[in-house]
Structures are given as structure tokens and as C-alpha cells.
Amino acid sequence: MSRHDVIVVGLGAMGSAALYQLAKRGVGVLGIDRFAPPHEQGSSHGDTRVTRLAIGEGAHYTPLVKRSHEIWHDIERETGADLLTQCGELIISSKNRKSSIHVEGFFQNTVDAAHAHGVAHELLDASQIRTRYPQFNIRDDEIGYFEAEAGFVRPEACIDAELTLARKHGAEIRTGETVLGLDAGRNGVTVKTDHRTYQADRLIVAAGAWLPKLLGHDFDRLFKIYRQVLCWFAVEGDVAAYEPERFPVFIWELPVSPQGIYGFPAIDGALKVATEQYAATTSPEHVDRSVSTEEVENMHRNYIAPYLKGVTSNCVKAKACLYTVTPDAGFILDTLPSSERVIVASCCSGHGFKHSAAVGEVLADKAENRAGSLDSALFRLGRFSV
Ligand SMILES: Cc1cc2nc3c(=O)[nH]c(=O)nc-3n(C[C@H](O)[C@H](O)[C@H](O)COP(=O)(O)OP(=O)(O)OC[C@H]3O[C@@H](n4cnc5c(N)ncnc54)[C@H](O)[C@@H]3O)c2cc1C
């Protein structure tokens, strides 16, 4: 049985970031994943993720995303990888909106977070949005929040770069190996996989949508897993008008739909757009990972054609992806009540990727029992009854 300082279970967004940080510090760390990340079975695929500094889900997240941007810039310099594109972000909302993104008051929370953290931004009325971005069909009562430093991050490239660097710094990585159970005792943690058994002083569990099942009954009740659909539609005519130099990432609290939409500038001639659904729960074992023609047609008819000019119904790619959502749509970054040796990271609720590089640092600090610079009290498990 091999013994490690720390074992990281799950090498997606959060686990790969933690593995990299620990290996860079010289900690003896083993990472285990049931697949070979980056992969398309969990929550971290689909080419792009929105990143923004003023966080409508809570101003306390801003230090995490700011630190993540620094880390990704450092990795870009070290590896030459293309991870972060700061093309700006436009949030569109109105008093008459029917949808909200992740939390009530998302638009105003974003403005408040920008003020609290000194994030440069502009507030635009409908005519200013139309002048700057004629690609959108804007109603007269709609307003915009524009943040120039926001943009998108490439999830697969981030995971790949962090795992490559972790390996370079001495991390051991086992892929295609599934953790079946864990047992924390006085002298360490035992991790049993479908291949063998390992021991460690500390364990980080970053298993995404599989986390509830791995941790057992109470966690099964705490998290809800939702299937989300992403579609890439071809742009006709002036494709350059939708490219990152002239088009931002956008989040739109729609006036006529209970679902909002968000989207990205065109990459390779196609624009990625998604809605968010919270009507039906699923599980990683049972979810349908294919996307039907009907879903694609519905997306274009209801969420593209009325809002974006010149985006065709030619869907070049579609993917399903999983949200793991807590009751307050916030993160969990904490040790288990039953053992200080086991650290749980559930940082999804549909908005985790932009924070993942810094979450890796927080997890490494916890695993090393170091007092980190971030006040992680707001991410405690104890706010729920587990
Ligand atoms: C459609 C969609 C859109 C999103 N958009 C945004 C966005 O625009 N901006 C943003 O910031 N965030 C966004 N998010 C959220 C963000 O992508 C997630 O917060 C993040 O990817 C979660 O990472 P994770 O490490 O928790 O999970 P994952 O990346 O899924 O990693 C979990 C890993 O654990 C492994 N694993 C599970 N069980 C075991 C086991 N028993 N043994 C071994 N390995 C195991 C899995 O194989 C997997 O690799 C979005 C999410 C989705 C699904």
C-alpha cells in the first residue's frame, strides 16, 4: 500500500488546480480520476467558461477570480498555453425580466460587487448597447453592465496545463481508476479504488457530480445535479462581428422567458449559447449525454432567433454538461465534520470554473494546515445541516 502526503480524488477543474498547487510546493501528492481529464463526462467541458470579476453570486467571490486570473496568466507565460481571453462581458437585464441568473438580484449584485472591489465597469442604456453591439436585439427597457476585464477561460486547456505542470513538479497521476470508498482514521486516510488501496495524511475530494454518491447519504440530499445543454450555431455574413475583438461574452436576464441565456464570441465561425434548466434533476450515472434535434431547434427558435442577428440555425456542435448545485448556489470548501483529514471541494452551482485556479490554492492551504489569505468561512459545510 503506497502512502502519500495528500491524495486528490477527481482531477477536473478543482482537483487539477489543487494537484498543481500541492506539487509546486513540493508536497508528495497523488491524483486519481475515473476518466482521463480533460474529458466530457462531468462539468468542465465545452471549450469556454465565462469569467468576470464582479460576481453577482456574491461579492466575496471576487478575490478568488482575481487570483485565478493571476495564476492563469502565470501558467500562460510558463507554458505558452492560451487560457484566458479578456474580451469584455455584457450583462443585460431589465425591470421586466422574467429570468434571473443563479441568484435573485444578480444584475444589481454585480454592480454592487464592482463598487465594493473597485472593478472598472460601465452602465449602459438600451441605445448605448445598440450602438456598441448592434448584434443584439435590445428592447427599449433593457440596460447593460459592461466589464472590460471579463471574458472567457478555456476549461480543457486549463485542466490540461495544470495536470502537465503538476506532473512536472512530481505529482503522481492515476487515470482510469475509480475511487470506491474512503476511510479516515486517527493515523491517516485509506482510499480504496477498483485497482488498489492507498493511504495519505490528507484527502481532497473534488469529484464534481459524483461527490454526493462518494460521500454518502447526507450529501446525496444536499446536492442536486442538473443536466445543461450547450449549442454552437454558425454565424452567417460578417463573422468578424461576432469574434472576440468585436463581441463580448454575454449574460442575458430575458424579459419573456423564465430561463436566462449566456453566450460567447464566435470561435471558428460558431457562437456558443446556453440556457440554464433547474426543472429536472439527474445523476452522472443516468444522464443522457447526447443532445436531441428537438433540443437544438428549441434553443435556436426560443433563445437565438429573437435575440441575436445573423446567427443561423445550423448547429455545428451540441453537448450536455452537469451542474452540481447546493441549496444556496454557493461553494463548499471545508473539512468533513467526521474528520479534519478529509477536505471537500464542491465549487460548481453553475459558476465555479472562473474561480478554480484560486480554489486550488485554498485546497492546498487546507491540506497543509496553512492559514491562507482568503477568508473561506463563507464556504463552510456547517451552513447546511449535514
Ligand atoms: C454547462 C455548464 C456551463 C458552465 N458555465 C460556467 C461559466 O460560464 N463560468 C464558470 O465560472 N463556471 C461555469 N460552470 C461551472 C464550472 O464548469 C464548474 O464549477 C466546474 O467545472 C466544476 O469542476 P469540478 O472539478 O467540481 O468537477 P469536474 O470538472 O466534473 O471534475 C470532477 C472529476 O472527478 C472525477 N471523479 C468523480 N468520481 C470519481 C471517483 N469515484 N474516482 C475517481 N475520480 C472521480 C471525474 O471523472 C471528474 O474528472 C459551468 C458548468 C456547466 C456544466
User: Residues 235-244: pLDDT tens digits?
Assistant: 999 999 999 9
Q: Which residues contact 256 (CB under 8 A, 6 or more apart)?
A: 98
Average pLDDT, the chain: 96
- Distance in Å, CA 35 to ligand 1 centroid: 13
Q: Is the CB of 49 under 6 A from ligand 1?
A: yes
Q: Determine the Cα–Cα distance for residues 358 and 153; give it in Å rounded to an integer.
A: 14
20 falls in which pLDDT band (50, 70, 90)? very high
Number of H helices, E strands in the chain: 9, 19
From atom 28 of ligand 1, which residue's Cα is the shortest distance away?
Answer: 12
Q: What is the pLDDT of residue 268?
A: 92
Q: What percent of the chain has pLDDT over 90?
A: 91
Strands 89-93 and 151-153: what pairing?
Answer: unpaired
* The ligand 1 atom nearest the CA atom of 13: 25
The CATH code for residues 2-45+155-222+328-383 is 3.50.50.60
Q: What is the pLDDT of residue 96?
A: 86
* The ligand 1 atom nearest the CA atom of 319: 1
Q: If DSSP codes are grouped into helix, strand and coil, which group holds residue 208? A: helix
Strands 2-9 and 197-205: what pairing?
Answer: parallel
364 falls in which pLDDT band (50, 70, 90)? very high
From atom 41 of ligand 1, which residue's Cα is the shortest distance away?
Answer: 179
In the predicted structure, residue 158 carries a pLDDT above the cut 90: yes
Q: Determine the Cα–Cα distance for residues 193 and 197; give it in Å rounded to an integer.
A: 6
354 falls in which pLDDT band (50, 70, 90)? very high
Q: Determine the Cα–Cα distance for residues 37 and 13; give it in Å rounded to an integer.
A: 9
Q: Determine the Cα–Cα distance for residues 272 and 265; give it in Å rounded to an integer.
A: 7
CATH 3.30.9.10 maps onto the chain at 84-150+224-325
375 falls in which pLDDT band (50, 70, 90)? low
In the predicted structure, residue 377 carries a pLDDT above the cut 90: no
* Cell numbers placing 338: 467526521
Q: Is the CB of 266 under 6 A from ligand 1?
A: no
Q: Is the CB of 354 under 6 A from ligand 1?
A: yes
In the predicted structure, residue 95 carries a pLDDT above the cut 70: yes
> Ligand 1 pocket check: which of 30, 49, 289 to mutate, most ligand atoms within 8 Å of Cβ?
49
Q: Where are the beta strands (DSSP E) in 236-331?
A: 249-252, 261-263, 270-275, 311-325
From atom 2 of ligand 1, which residue's Cα is the shortest distance away?
Answer: 321
Q: Is the whole-model pTM more than 0.95? A: yes
> Which CATH class for the 84-150+224-325 domain?
alpha beta
* The ligand 1 atom nearest the CA atom of 207: 34
In the predicted structure, residue 27 carries a pLDDT above the cut 90: yes
Average pLDDT over residues 318-324: 98
Average pLDDT over residues 270-279: 95
* The ligand 1 atom nearest the CA atom of 193: 42
Tens digit of each residue's pLDDT (9 = 90 or more) over 182-208: 999 999 999 999 999 999 999 999 999
In the predicted structure, residue 256 carries a pLDDT above the cut 90: no
Q: Is the CB of 357 under 6 A from ligand 1?
A: no
CATH 3.50.50.60 maps onto the chain at 2-45+155-222+328-383
Q: Is the CB of 272 under 6 A from ligand 1?
A: no
